[in-house]
Amino acid sequence: SLNCASFLEYTVKERHVAGVILARGGSNGIPLQNIKLLAGVPLIGWVIRAAIDSDVFDSLWVSTDHDEIERVAKKWGAKVHRRSAEVSKDTTSSLETIQEFCRMNPEVDIICNIQATSPCLHPHHLIQAVEMVTKQGYDSVFSVDRRHHFRWQEVTKGEGPDTKALNLNPAKRPRRQDWPGELCENKSFYIATKKLIDEGVLQGGKMAYFEMPAEYSIDIDNDIDWPVAEQKVLRFGYFGKDKPELVRLLLCNVLGCLTDGQISLSANGDERVSVNSRDLDGITMLQRKGTEVILLTSSENPTLGRLTDKLSQKTGCVVMSLNEPKQVEVEKLMKEKKLEWKEVAYIGNDATDVDCLSLAGLSAVPLDTSAMALIAAKYRCQSTAGHGAVREFCEHILHTNSFQNTRNSDKKYKSTD
């Protein structure tokens, strides 16, 4: 028999917790922003990855009315709630959509509404916040961050020119370090019991906030926010259980990455292949920062052979001819260089690259790549093969290495503080 405490623990554990990401197709700010690539990952991919790795959800859903968002959501591992037209309007509230989700999924007891526009969310944030409901007995929990903004009363036309301070004494303006600031919703997530949602509220009952550090708080509303979000997510985003390390080696396929796959014929029948100078500059940038670059080829085409010889002379890169399966030969190379996959970056474009793309710490494909390679890659370039894709990935590697160096410096500084 179970005692009272054990029974309560048993019943609490049995409650079905669902994560729900609202991702309507008709965004008013940025068209299809929920699947726009942010640092090479679809925006909803960042929060789906964090939610899955938190392991606190019995089910994880993306609620959408759009076919492409549905496809991306499923690719990243979420289920899809195909919302009705009634809750897909500009005027529809989040609560109305979640209520429809609850009606269609009656087994759900607790809902965590995760915002797709919060790409710096980490699994540990979700774990701690969900446990406040499942283990500490709260009915609703929402995320906040601490802000140091002095607020003033708005004056509308016809009310006169005077305003007044709302949260400070202007005669005694506090220094930032002397003022704890205020807690504001950062819109990362809202957790509520189904009972509250049925009553028409997302925040109510026994309420609590979950404070997130400012570096993890960002909300994307328009195009102006995007470059800032991209820089922030590279430094503070969640990259999965296997965090990227400093990239020490880039393996770059020549055919279909450095070249666009086209072979032109001259009047006398000579074959010619072109390479973009921006891509070569990207390789040089990496080399100057200490990252080795090896060019990969598997073709016996004599034209490509002559090209790789010239590329080797121009860039100083070793050219390596790989046979299938590529993974075996790459791992032999890594063993010789005493490297792990997390220290290797790989850019490919075909089904034969899938294993290496999946295993590499950083991996990329050009915009015009095969579907199989696209699914395996961690980064999808905005540029096509032979037209800047390699340069773009090199810049991504440099950004990642730079922020990883900063993180390591921060850790070293804190450990000696």
Active site residues: 173
Q: What are phi and psi of 19, to 5 degrees?
A: -95, 135
CA angle 266, 267, 270 (to 5 degrees): 40
Q: How far apart are CA 198 and CA 7, in angstroms?
A: 26
DSSP state letter for 223: T
Cα of first residue to Cα of last residue in the chain, in angstroms, is 53
Q: How far apart are CA 59 and CA 47, in angstroms?
A: 14
CA angle 390, 393, 395 (to 5 degrees): 110
DSSP symbols for 247-304:
--EEEEEIIIIIS-S--EE-TTS-EE----HHHHHHHHHHHHTT-EEEEEE----HHH
User: Distances from the Cα of 92 to the Cαs of 89, 165, 354, in angstroms?
Assistant: 5, 34, 41
What amino acid is encoded at 130 in this protein? Answer: V
Asked whether 286 and 397 are in contact (CB, 8 A), the reply is yes
Q: How far apart are CA 332 and CA 336, in angstroms?
A: 6
Bridge partners for 321 per DSSP: 297
Q: How far apart are CA 290 and CA 124, in angstroms?
A: 34
Q: How far apart are CA 214 and CA 145, in angstroms?
A: 6
Q: What are phi and psi of 259, to 5 degrees?
A: -110, 160
**Nearest one of 46, 93, 52, 362 to 218, comparing CA atoms:** 46
